[in-house]
Amino acid sequence: MQRAMTLYLARYILPINRPPIEDGALFVREGRIGAIGRRKEVEVPAGTTVVDFGDAVLLPPLVNAHTHLELTHFPLWARNLGEIEDSRSFVDWVKKVIRIKRAVDPKQYAYSLDEGIRASMKAGTGAIGDILSWFPARSVYRTAPLFGRAFFETLGRDPERNRRILRTLKKILREGQAGQLELGVSPHSPYTLSAEYLEEIIDYARRQRVPLAIHLAESAEEVDFLRESRGSIATDLFAFVGWSDMVPPAPRRDPVSYLAERNGLHSDCLLVHGVQVEQPDCEKIAAAGASVVLCPRSNARLGVGKAPVADYLAAGVNLALGTDSRASSETLSVWDEIAFARSWFAQQSSASDLIRMATAGGARALGISGEIGALEPRMGAHFQVLSPPRLPELQKLDEFLCSAGRTAEVSHLYLRNREVLQTA
Ligand SMILES: [Zn+2]
């Protein structure tokens, strides 16, 4: 039974939008945060239940702003199909993903998605920006307590086929929600959709106020393609999927301008990767109010480069972190992503920048910042607890949280004031 009033105590509480609190207390009333502060400062009514986590860190759940949980079993599928070699290039990797997805019965996606949800929660993730390519698997979300958005992925260059898919998509999008997740649409990338289809999707999403997500400016190959309609996307990838006669005339644009000219650069469009951008692009993205999801482990694995985090931060772009899928990432843990990002971005961003991206930044990117992603009065009672064998001093807490090994220390995840981890 849900308790009406609870006081949660922990050695450290990380509210995110204000400095960490030592000997912290979080007072929850009717599922909402009523007060937060030092234990001796937070007054509670008689009859309040006290839950003391002891030497632990209590902080918001993490937000995995870009992932494809339906591909959680990807490494297993790849092994079963004998696809064990690492890809030699970005396009090689895309072809491998297509090969494996084609070989797997889509019904497997539902099991794979279900496991992805469980793995995410175990790693302290409370909200996701998930991409779904096999739409029936959305039924799996219905019983999941996670917040965030599920984006239905679409791509294609054949007008007839695109029309059919868009009809189906419109019908599904009218459902509005799957479980706690708001539904959105994801035109896969500027190179896998014809310009006309991309425009149609963007236009529909804007009119219906449906959120968008797009893989943008990920690789040098994408930049080549949008500039000159050449390179390994135009030749190798297009031949592989049977689009050799659909290579468009050279658009002569960079990825951000290409999207902006199609009305896709706005505050309800989530840009995923954003590696191949220059400083003026960061300014444009900031002015449009769009968020960028960085996926450093995936970028490193595929050898596509490093996003200019310092430029994004200087321009004031809202940044989030994503693990991307198990097709390019070792784990679905955002804690692991943070630890990798700390060394990958080095001086470009601080430890507290990364923690913010993985909590408040991610929540803002998914349109749920009033609910989750920080600990403030009136927000929902959503938090996780880390119980490490030894805690650092308060001044070293941010660096500690950005070092490897945190995933295994997640001892509790509360969503809507309920513990959702079976293991706790
Ligand atoms: Zn992705």
For residue 34, give its domain range: 5-60+375-419
pLDDT at residue 424 tops 80: no
Ligand 1: distance of its center to the CA of 229 in Å? 22
Ligand 1: distance of its center to the CA of 370 in Å? 26
One domain for residues 413 and 266: no
What value does the mean pLDDT take over residues 375-380?
98
Ligand 1: distance of its center to the CA of 215 in Å? 6
One domain for residues 283 and 180: yes
Q: Which value, in Å, is the radius of gyration of the alpha carbons in the chain? A: 22
pLDDT at residue 147 tops 50: yes
Q: What is the number of domains present in the chain?
A: 2
pLDDT digits (tens, 9 = 90+) for 398-418: 999 999 999 999 999 999 999
One domain for residues 220 and 327: yes
Ligand 1: distance of its center to the CA of 23 in Å? 40
Ligand 1: distance of its center to the CA of 293 in Å? 10
One domain for residues 161 and 308: yes
CB 250 within 8 A of CB 229: yes
Positive or negative, the Cα torsion across 266, 267, 270, 272? positive
One domain for residues 345 and 391: no
Which CATH number does the domain housing residue 19 bear? 2.30.40.10
Which CATH number does the domain housing residue 210 bear? 3.20.20.140
Ligand 1: distance of its center to the CA of 244 in Å? 24
Q: Is the pTM above the cut of 0.85?
A: yes
Q: Flag whether 204 is in a domain.
A: yes
One domain for residues 390 and 323: no
One domain for residues 398 and 288: no
Query: What does the block give as tokens for 52?
Result: 């003391």
Q: Check residue 1 and give its pLDDT.
A: 45
CB 391 within 8 A of CB 81: no
Question: Chain-wide mean pLDDT for the chain?
Answer: 96
One domain for residues 33 and 86: no
Ligand 1: distance of its center to the CA of 39 in Å? 42
pLDDT digits (tens, 9 = 90+) for 226-269: 999 999 999 999 999 999 999 999 999 999 999 999 999 999 99
The torsion defined by the Cα of 216, 222, 228 and 233, in degrees rounded to 10, comes to: -140
pLDDT digits (tens, 9 = 90+) for 275-329: 999 999 999 999 999 999 999 999 999 999 999 999 999 999 999 999 999 999 9
Q: Flag whether 171 is in a domain.
A: yes
Report the candidate in 81, 114, 97, 115 with the shortest Cα–Cα distance to residue 153.
Answer: 97
Within 140-295, where are the H helices?
159-173, 195-208, 220-228, 238-240, 255-260, 279-288
Sorted by sequence, the CB contacts under 8 Å of residue 47 that are 6+ apart come out as 5
One domain for residues 157 and 20: no
Q: Which residues pair with 318 in a beta bridge?
A: 291
